[in-house]
Structure 1
Amino acid sequence: MTISTPTRRAPARWIRAGWALIRACHPEPALAVTVGVTALAAASGRSVAGLAAVATAVLAGQLATGWSNDWLDADRDAAVGRTDKPVATGEVSRRLVGVAALVAGLACVPLSLLSGWQAGLVHLAAVGCALAYNARLKSTPFSALPYALAFAAAPAFVTLALPGSPWPPVWLTVAGAALGAGAHFANVLGDLEEDAATGIRGLPHRLGRRASEAIAAGLMALVAVVLTAGPPGPPRPIAWGILGVTAIALGLGAVLGRRPGSPALFRAVLVAAVCDVALLLLSGTNL
């Protein structure tokens, strides 16, 4: 009798599947949001334990959001030949991605509540907005609303865990909402044609590329102005400098973006988004 031994290909297969699963969670935005909210918490004075609670909760919510998106959109992505989607290309099974989304979503509940029940409920509501976007709202004229609500909730998730459980100032909540809506318009721009081919008709799709670019730019500019003027006292020199970079980037993008097919305005929006995040972290010291 012979005893079979596992082939050397098995570990490689698991490694490939694991890498495909990571790619299916939308790692870039997941990491960006996790780092951004954790940095805001650090600027507000949260302890090391508090930062760990924030980071793990936000990461779990982002994983649940990303994986559920690819689980729901598997058929659409395959129909348009999305080679950047591991589920659509068969690199990872739809079932595994769905299970991963469920596990991440369940883990998000206790991890969120580590920051206290008020902050935890706010974060879970934000994750609920993201899941509602995936499930239905992305195809409606209200597609920007979940982004606005989820980003507006981020400062509250941070401040409600601080001593006294204060709500964030109105200017910071407004800036978060505008940043979220702007991020939605900017994020969708790269997939407008593929989305339209599979029946996705969110607000950016209904307005068109040029209008969506202009709205994204306007929202990013609004965020920069609010975060510069909103904190108490005169704006810091560094805030004025970041605001100036934002204005220059968006101005150049508007001028250069007049050429048909030019990505200048879209790239300017991305630069403005980075500047807005820098201002948001700077504002965390005023919480």
Structure 2
Amino acid sequence: MHDEITAALLGALRRSGWSPGRVLLTGWFSFRDGEATAGDVLAERQVSAALTRAGIRHDTAWSPGFRPGALSLETARPEVYDTLLFVCGPVHGPQVAALHARFGSCRRLAAGVSVVDPADPAVTGFHEIVARDGAAAPARHDLAATAPAGPLPPVAAVVLSHGQGEYGARRRHEEANAKITGWLAGKDCARMPADTRLACDDWRLCGTAEQFLALVSRCDLVVTTRLHGLVLALRTGTPVIAVDPVAGGAKVTAQARAVGWPALVNAADLGEEALDHWWRWALSEPGRTAAARHSMG
């Protein structure tokens, strides 16, 4: 796919013989109270790669909430840069407008953005805009469409229980869930919260058992504290890490033993070492083969 926006951007950067010294690359991912979306980050990667290929020195300003310790708008010194480049998202509102005041000494460009209101000070403050869409702009392919990306990580369905009051003092659900979710936050994977609970009036929940089976069947593995998270994942041939959140073991342990599934962690042994061990196994060929033997598909 032809990247129209970066081609037009490089033309804008060097128009009339002007050559940038150092560029500060910004976007909504730069604002402390903004947000970093997958599209924003891929757009930054695409433009950064284009600048590198063109031999243009540049830095990226990141939100401290997204990448603590990285260069931010607060720590970037305007006098270091002669160009500010804003990529992706809408050029709209006071946060974008404030960039023009802080970096008033820089040439300011925007690329791959949406122009909602051409009269907005956030828009008029740029010297040039290469828009992806807007009132007077032809529609162009978004920057994220052709951005470089690495190998896709595994998709993990996360099926947790928050109830089961019948176990009384033996319940370790809150501690188990906190350890699991804290551990998962550090894994390179796409995390997908899922629930075995069905509903006909909540779009976030499956409405039929078949819908839930379809969901877990498309995942690379399942991490669960629910008996049916274990049973239904294995029914679809999806490897599962089963955690029993009841002290001393209860129905999750009993079911794992009944079906001969080894990837079981009890509440007392729950920690990163045990979870990492079974993560590696579940994603390995032996783990996938073991799960496939349970499949009814």
TM-score of the superposition, structure 2-length normalised?
0.22
The structure with the greater share of residues assigned to strand is 2
Q: Which has the larger Rg?
A: 2
TM-score of the superposition, structure 1-length normalised?
0.23
The structure with the greater share of residues assigned to helix is 1
Query: Which gives a bigger RCO, structure 1 or 2 (Cα 8 Å, sep 6+)?
Result: 1
